């Protein structure tokens, strides 16, 4: 069995299935959020939380887009303890979100109650929503975003790797757009390396 070539081929196939237009649409939402002086909020569980942190830092540091994640242990445990784990994301959005924000919610299964509830709350608060999910095409998260990126796979790591590559490609597209238009913030223009 050729495990690694087969594994990488599965990721390649998943990457090809999402239309480039959807990835560009997320980039346009990020730009629109930035122009409206909003911020990008990224949220996930487990590996998706680590991904959210990585992308938030890249968007902020190199692309000049204000981005945050909700991965502080004290925030998570406080809100989960007080409101229940399935409600901590929606409560965090109530406390930290603003009307012009873009919320990017990541759940491999698309079934995580805290992420699904967060998407519903973000919409109620007037925020724009992007979702990333996998597994069933009918998962509840996939129906809640303005753009819904979905991976047609039943394997967690294939889904997570595809999500991560898409999000980093979106961040790099934002960076490339800033560089080509020379719209980078002055403090980033001299130090950014890609």
What are the structural domains of the chain?
A: 3-189 (3.40.50.10490)
76: left (phi over 0), alpha (psi -120 to 50) or beta: alpha
Residue 189's pLDDT is 44
Residue 182's pLDDT is 57
Residue 177's pLDDT is 82
Both tokens assigned to 161: 């790797």
Buried b (16+ CB within 10 A) or exposed e, 79-109: bbeebeeebbbbbbbeeebeebbbbbbbbbb
Residue 179's pLDDT is 73
Q: 102, 30 in Cβ contact below 8 A? A: yes
Separation between Cα atoms, residue 78 and residue 67, nearest integer Å? 22
Residue 51's pLDDT is 97
Residue 183's pLDDT is 53
Residue 181's pLDDT is 64
Separation between Cα atoms, residue 126 and residue 40, nearest integer Å? 14
Low-confidence ranges of the chain (pLDDT < 70): 1, 181-194
Residue 19's pLDDT is 84
CA distances from 162 to 12, 13, 103, 126 (A): 8, 10, 19, 28
């Amino acid at each position: 069995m050729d495990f690694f070539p087969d594994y990488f081929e599965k990721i390649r196939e998943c990457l090809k299935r999402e239309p480039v237009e959807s990835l560009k649409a997320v980039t346009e939402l990020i730009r629109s959020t930035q122009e409206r002086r909003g911020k990008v909020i990224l949220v996930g569980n487990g590996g998706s939380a680590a991904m959210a942190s990585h992308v938030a830092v890249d968007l902020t540091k190199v692309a000049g887009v204000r981005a945050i994640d909700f991965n502080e242990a004290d925030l998570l445990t406080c809100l989960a303890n007080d409101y229940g784990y399935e409600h901590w994301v929606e409560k965090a959005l109530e406390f930290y979100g603003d009307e012009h924000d873009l919320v990017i919610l990541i759940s491999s299964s698309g079934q995580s109650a805290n992420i699904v509830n967060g998407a519903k709350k973000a919409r109620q608060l007037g925020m724009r929503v992007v979702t990333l999910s996998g597994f069933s095409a009918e998962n509840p998260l996939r129906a809640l975003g303005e753009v819904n990126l979905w991976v047609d796979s039943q394997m967690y790591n294939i889904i997570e790797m595809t999500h991560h590559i898409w999000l980093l490609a979106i961040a790099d597209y934002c960076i490339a757009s800033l560089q080509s238009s020379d719209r980078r913030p002055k403090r980033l223009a001299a130090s950014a390396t890609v």
